[in-house]
Structures are given as C-alpha cells and as structure tokens.
Copies of this chain bind each other. A is one copy, B any other.
C-alpha cells in the first residue's frame, strides 16, 4: 500500500509527521515523501528540514495521499505542477486526505466542489472559495476525502482512516503503540474552549499576516 505525503517549503511539520507515525505502522505501507523537487524542505521557523525522497513522476498512483498545511500553502496554491499532481493521483487513489490548511490545496486542485471539508479553525470558512461545504469538526469524511482540522488533528484523522481501512483492532494497536492518550494541561485547543481574549489575539494576528 503506497502512501504519498506531499512536502513543500514552509509546511507545518506536525501536519505531516503526526499522520506519518500512525500510517507507517500499517504493515503493508510504503510511505513516500514527495515534492515537486526532491530534497530537504525547510519548515516554517527555519530550523527544521524534512527530506522528500521522491519526485511527482516517481509516485503516480498511491493508494493514500496526505496533504499537510502551513504557511507554504499559499505558494502551492499557485503552483500548477503540484496541483496537477494532486488532480492526477486523485483519479486512482483510495483516499485523499489533508491536515490543517492542506485542504486549501485540495480545493485549489478542484476536488472539493460540493464536498464537506474542514481546515484549521482560522481558515475553515475560506473553503467556500473552492465550492466546499465547510464543517467545523476535527475530522470530516466525505466519500474518499478525509480532511482534518489544525495541525494536531492529523493524528486523529490517521487513526480514523486506519480504523476504516484496516479495522478497529489495528487502529487501537497503533494508538497504543504511540501511546496516544492525550492529556493536555490546559483546555484551550479549540475556539469554543479557549479564553475569548486568546481567540481574538490569534484572529487579529492571522488578519495582519
């Protein structure tokens, strides 16, 4: 089972690495990190690089496709070779998935028209631009397209996908292997739960970017 994870400069590493740690546990999985140009991709913040081993022509028919998000998404949205690849692999894939603002890449590739989808809470409503139906939930499945909310939601998305694809027992084993028994020290992980002042702070920062 070939799993393609798209990399590009200025992505958010956890969007890719969270699901990677779950999906790589599928015994039949061959995970490929793919980019328009193979090599190290510099993350936002600058100090970390993830390496893409494969170019688009080396990964033409993956079963599972994962599109991460991050500040670099805005460049990808106007990059025809990447959008062409997303459209092409969508034709034969079993699953198209995204984390955080990666869903905007799915949208720009034209595959979210009429599709229920989510994104980071700051950007989910912008999915309407692509004809999608924004849903404020952590993991949203519509047919073979599964989108996750911001950054850390990719772990929940990957476990959901493993549950569907490989069965509940395997998903539970993977959850236990990565000891995913989350105990956040604060209760501020969504705009409904965080103090209003903090929600407003992040909204105003996002507006000025």
Contact = CB atoms under 8 A, between A and B. Distances in A.
Given A198-B169, A202-B173, A160 B185 contact: yes
Contacts of A48: 17, 20, 31, 33, 50-51
Interface of A: 12-14, 17-18, 20-21, 24, 30-33, 40, 45, 47-51, 53, 100, 120-121, 138-139, 149-153, 155-156, 159-160, 163, 168-169, 171-173, 175-186, 188-191, 193-195, 198-199, 201-202
B202 A190 contact: no
A155 B74 CA distance: 26
B198 A189 contact: no
A188 B175 contact: yes
Contacts of A151: 21, 177-180
Given A17-B18, A152-B180, 11 more contacts: A31-B47, A49-B51, A50-B51, A138-B181, A151-B180, A152-B178, A156-B185, A172-B186, A172-B198, A173-B188, A173-B194
Contact of A159 (B24, B180, B185, B202): B185
A153 B179 contact: yes
B179 A121 contact: yes
B176 A199 contact: yes
A190 B18 CA distance: 18
A155 B152 contact: yes
